[in-house]
Structure 1
Amino acid sequence: MVRMLECFKYFLFVLMLVSCGKETYFDGVGIPIRETNRGDYGLVGLDGKILVDFELDAKPKIMTENWTHYTYDKKLVFVNDKGKETTTDLLDALSFHEGTILCKLNNGKLAFYDKTLQMVIILDDVEEAGPISSGLFKFSNAAGDWGFMNLKGDVVVKPVYHKVKSFREGFSIVEKYDEESKTNRVGIIDNKGEYVVQLSTKFTELDSFSEGLSAFKSDDQSGYIDINGNKVIVSDSWRETFPFFKGLASVKGDDGEYGLIDEKGSYLIKTREKIPVKLFNGLSIYQGSNRKLGFMSSERELTTRSEFEDMMPFLNNGAFAKDGGEWMYIDENGKDISEFNKSIRLIYHEPFTKSVYKDNTPFDLNSTLKSSFINIDGFYKEIMKESSGVMHKIMTARKNLDASYLENLMLEYDKEISLIDKVGVGKKTIDTYQLMNGYFEFDSNISFSLKYYFNERVISKNGDGKFFNEDSKVSSIRVKIKPQRKGKGKTKELLEKIEMALLKNNKINDIGEILIEDKVKVKLSRDYSNMYIVYSYNE
C-alpha cells in the first residue's frame, strides 16, 4: 500500500511538471531580428513567436516592458509589442524600466516618459542620468558628482560621489575619491542615502546586490558579502564572479575556466567550463571541444550535442539556437520546435544575453544618457539681447568707452582690474582676454571675451600720469565665443541659433550684416573652435 502511495505521488509530481511547462523569464522582452543582411528588422519574443514582422526601417533596441525604439531620419520611433509605431522628435532614449524611460529631448535636455509616451519630468539641471530602479535614478551635476533623485524631482541622495550604481534590492554601491589619501573608497547606501557599509578601502570593487549578496574584489581576495559588509563567501583563486540567481552563481577560476557554486560557496560544478555557467529551467549553455554550443544540466549531463554556432539561454519553453547560418527555436533536447515560418538569419541578442549573465536584467541598469543641452538662449538673453544684454549696454554708450561698466563686468566674473593701470599707453585695443588672462565663463559650456577697437590710442600719458584719451572713440567690438565641453565642434549649429534670435526683431542688409535699430551693424562668422560677432556703428 505504501509502495502504491509513493508511486501515485510521483505520478502527480510528473503530471504537475508537464502541465506547468517551463518557467518563463523576462516578460515583455523582444529581441531584434532580420531575415537577411540587407532586409528590414523585426522582433521576436523569448517564447519563439514573432512579435513584430520584418517591417522596421532600422535596428531597434532590445524590447523591454513591451516597448522598444529605433532612430530613423534623425527621429526616434517607438514600437510596442503589437507593432504600432509612434514617431517623435526625441534624439535618444534608454529602455523602459519600472514603467518609465529616460529620453533626450530635441534641445538636448533629459526627461522621463511613461508608457503612454507622455512626459513625466524634465531634468533641467542634470548632466547625465540612468534609468529608474527601485524608484530612484542616478544623476550627475555639472561638476560630475553623482547622487539620486525620484520622479518628483526630489534629490534623495545628494550628488557627492564620483561613481554610483543604480539601486538594486534597495541598496546602491557608491564610490568616493579621497583627495588627501589619493585613494578610492567604496561603500553601500540605502534608499535614504544612509550608509549600511561605510566608505572604506576594504574593497576595490563591489557589484550590485542579487539575492542579498554582492560580489566583491579586494587586493588579494574575491567572493561575496552580505548587506552588512560581512564576507560570507571568500576565495583567493577566483578571477571573476557573477551575481547569484536562484541560489547559484558562476565563478571563473585561476585556470581561466568557469564553475558553479551555491550560497555556501560549495561547488556544484568545478571550474572546468569554457563559458560562464548560468542555469535557466535547469539548463546552461556549454561549449564543446569543437567550440560549438549546446545545453547541459547542473550535473553536467549533456541534453544536446555541441552542434550550434550560437545560442540564447533557455528562458521559456524553448531557446533560440543557430545552426547552418539560420536560427531556430529548440527544446531541451535540441529538437526544432519553431512555430514561425520565416527564415531568421540574424538575432541581435548579444546586449541582452550579456546583461542577463552579468546582472540578471534584460539591459544594463547602469547605462546612462548624457545631456547635450547648451544654454545658447540664456547666453543670448544675458549677453546679446538688443534691449537688455551686455552688448546693448555697451553700445548705448555710443562711441565712448564706458570704463566703469567694463571694470564692473570683469568684477562680476571675479576679476578686479583697473583699465587705466592695465592697458598700455598707445594701445588702440582693449582685449578682456589679455586683461583677465582668460575668458568670461558664462557657464561650463560657453566662454567669451570682448575686444574693443578704437580709432586712436585709448590711454595717453603726461607729467601727471596716465589718462583716458577723450578723442579715442570705439569703432567696433568683437565678441569671441568659445564653446566648451558639450559645445565643442558645434559652432555652426550655435551660430545659426544666435543669428535666428538676432533676426527676429532686426533686418539684414545687402552684404549680410544685421542692422540693430539702424544704429549698429552686426556681422557673424566662425571657425571650427570659435564664433565671432562683430558690433560696429552704422555711420
Structure 2
Amino acid sequence: MMNRDNMIKAENGKPCIIDSKGKILVQPKIDIDTLYYPSNDFCQVEKDGKYGYIDLNGKLVIPMEYRMAYPFSENGLAFVVSDNGLGGYINIDNEFVIDPVYDSGSTFKFGFAAVSKNGEYKYIYKNGNKAINNTFKYAGGFSECGLAKIQELDGRQGLMDTTSRSILMLKHGCELAEFIEDSRITKFRKNGREALINAAGEIITGFYDRIIISPYSRLNPFLRNGLWGYIDDRGKEVIPNIYKEVSEFEEYKDEMIASVKSYHPLAENNIVNLYINEKDEIIDNSIVEASKQHLKDKFSKVNRVKKALALAVRKERKIYENI
C-alpha cells in the first residue's frame, strides 16, 4: 500500500520537492498530475493515469507509459505494470530485465524481491530466478532491518529473515503489519488490539487499543482508554496518554515536534491545541504557526517532512492583463 506522504497531487499548483525551509529542490520539467517521493535518485510521476519517472533535475527519463510504477530499488530495478495488468522489472534504460508476468512485485532489498502470480507469492533474485524454495500465501518485501512479512499456506502470519529462517510465527487469528519504510518496529493485531514487535521478532509491549508506527521518529502514538500518548521503539511509554488527539512527530528546524489536542477547563470547548517536542515540552504556537504560514504563502499543500525533504504543491502565480 502506498504511503500518502510519498505522493502529492497537482491541485491548485505544481508539484515539487522542497527542503524543510521551503526551498524548491526538485521541480518537474513536464506537466504532471502526481509526484512521488524520491527513491534512489528517481521519482515516479503520473499524468492522465500513465506513469513514468523523472530524475532529481526534474527531467523525464522514463516515459509515462505504464499503468502503475513503483520506486526504484537499490539495485537499479523498478517494478512497473503494463497495460495488460501484469508487471515486471525495468532498468533505468526502460528495458525489461524481468519480464512482465507478475501480478505484484516489491522493491529489491538484500538482493531479493517478493513477487506474486495467480495468488502465489515467492522471492526472486535480480536475474528473475527463484531465490527461496518456499512459496507463500503472501510475502512482502524485505525491510531495512532484514525481515519480511510472510503468510504461510495455512494462513498463519509471521516474519522471515534473509536466510529464509522463520523469526516469528503468530497464532491463527493474529494479523501482522509489515515494517514501514525505515522503521525497526512493526505491530500485530489480535482481538481488535495491537502490540509492538521489534527487529529481532520479539513482542515488546502489551496490547493497546491502537498504535501508529512512525518510521521517521523514535516515538509512536498509542491509544488507550480513549486517550493518546507516545511509545518509543523499545516499547517504553515516553509520553503518557493524556491527549485527546495527536499527530506523528515530524522534523521542525533542529527538533521533532507533534501537534496535540489537550483537555483544558478554561479553553473553548475545553480543548486547547498545542505543539510539543519529544520531551513533552510545549512549544510556542506562534513560532510554529509563523513558520507554517511562510510555507503556506508559497505552497498550497506540504506533506510531512522526512529526511529533510517534503513533497509540496507550489502555488501558481496569477497573471493579470489589462483588457
TM-score by length of 2: 0.71
Q: Which amino acid aligns with 1:100?
A: L
| Deviation sequence 1:38-96 (CA, Å, 0-9, x none) | x5x24122342213447542223223133224334675443222122246263131223
Which of 211, 220, 230 aligns to 1:240? It is 211
1:50 maps to 2:27: no
1:85 maps to 2:60: yes
Cα distance in structure 2, aligned partners of 1:69 and 1:188 = 29
Cα distance in structure 2, aligned partners of 1:284 and 1:214 = 22
Change (3 A) 1:53 1:139: closer
Q: Which amino acid aligns with 1:43?
A: C
Moved over 6 A (4+): 289-294, 306-309
Contact 1:287 1:294 in 2 (8 A): yes
Cα distance in structure 2, aligned partners of 1:145 and 1:264 = 34
- Which segment drifts farther, 168-177 or 218-227? 218-227
Cα distance in structure 1, aligned partners of 2:272 and 2:70 = 33
Q: Which amino acid aligns with 2:299?
A: I
Cα distance in structure 2, aligned partners of 1:62 and 1:175 = 29
1:123 maps to 2:123: no
Helix, strand or coil at the partner of 1:125: strand
Match of 2:318 in 1: none
Cα distance in structure 2, aligned partners of 1:263 and 1:52 = 32
Contact 1:293 1:307 in 2 (8 A): no
Contact 2:223 2:229 in 1 (8 A): yes
1:67 maps to 2:42: yes
TM-score by length of 1: 0.46
Within-5 A mapping of 1:202-213: 203-208=174-179, 212-213=184-185
Match of 2:203 in 1: 231
Q: Which amino acid aligns with 1:46?
A: D
Root-mean-square deviation (CA, aligned residues, Å) is: 3.9
Helix, strand or coil at the partner of 1:231: coil
Cα distance in structure 2, aligned partners of 1:85 and 1:208 = 31
Change (3 A) 1:247 1:83: closer
Match of 1:266 in 2: 236
Change (3 A) 1:87 1:270: same
Identity %: 16
Q: How much does 1:234 deviate?
A: 1.6
Helix, strand or coil at the partner of 2:71: coil
Q: How much does 1:131 deviate?
A: 2.3
Helix, strand or coil at the partner of 1:201: coil
Compare the two structures and name the one with the higher helix fraction.
Answer: 1
Q: Which amino acid aligns with 2:279?
A: E
Change (3 A) 1:320 1:94: farther
Helix, strand or coil at the partner of 2:43: strand
Q: How much does 1:253 deviate?
A: 1.9
Which of 186, 191, 215 aligns to 2:157? It is 186
Match of 2:319 in 1: none
Q: How much does 1:212 deviate?
A: 4.9
Cα distance in structure 1, aligned partners of 2:55 and 2:149 = 33
Q: Which amino acid aligns with 1:49?
A: K
Which of 77, 85, 98 aligns to 1:100? It is 77
Change (3 A) 1:112 1:300: same
Cα distance in structure 2, aligned partners of 1:110 and 1:234 = 40
Q: Which amino acid aligns with 1:238?
A: D
Aligned residues: 289
Q: How much does 1:230 deviate?
A: 3.7
Match of 1:302 in 2: 282
Which of 159, 167, 179 aligns to 1:196? It is 167
Cα distance in structure 2, aligned partners of 1:362 and 1:147 = 34
Contact 1:206 1:216 in 2 (8 A): yes
Which of 319, 327, 331 aligns to 2:296? It is 327
Match of 2:317 in 1: none
Q: How much does 1:284 deviate?
A: 1.9
Change (3 A) 1:279 1:151: same
Which of 88, 92, 99 aligns to 1:111? It is 88
Q: How much does 1:173 deviate?
A: 1.4
* Structure 2 segments unaligned to the other structure (5+ residues): 263-267, 312-323
Q: Which amino acid aligns with 1:297?
A: N
Q: How much does 1:224 deviate?
A: 2.2
Contact 1:64 1:97 in 2 (8 A): no
* Structure 1 segments unaligned to the other structure (5+ residues): 1-28, 179-183, 310-318, 329-342, 364-539
Q: How much does 1:208 deviate?
A: 2.1
Match of 2:255 in 1: 282
Within-5 A mapping of 1:110-509: 110-114=87-91, 116-119=92-95, 121-142=97-118, 144-158=119-133, 160-168=135-143, 169-176=145-152, 178=154, 184-198=155-169, 200-201=171-172, 203-208=174-179, 212-219=184-191, 222-226=194-198, 229-235=201-207, 237-242=208-213, 247-255=218-226, 257-273=227-243, 274-278=245-249, 280=251, 281-288=254-261, 295-305=275-285, 321-322=292-293, 327=296, 343-347=298-302, 349=303
Cα distance in structure 2, aligned partners of 1:55 and 1:254 = 50
Compare the two structures and name the one with the higher strand fraction.
Answer: 2
| Deviation sequence 1:12-38 (CA, Å, 0-9, x none) | xxxxxxxxxxxxxxxxx997586x72x
Cα distance in structure 2, aligned partners of 1:79 and 1:177 = 39
Q: How much does 1:294 deviate?
A: 6.2
Change (3 A) 1:89 1:299: closer
Change (3 A) 1:322 1:137: farther
Match of 2:265 in 1: none
Contact 2:231 2:238 in 1 (8 A): yes
Change (3 A) 1:321 1:127: same
Q: How much does 1:140 deviate?
A: 0.9
Helix, strand or coil at the partner of 2:148: strand
Q: How much does 1:270 deviate?
A: 1.0
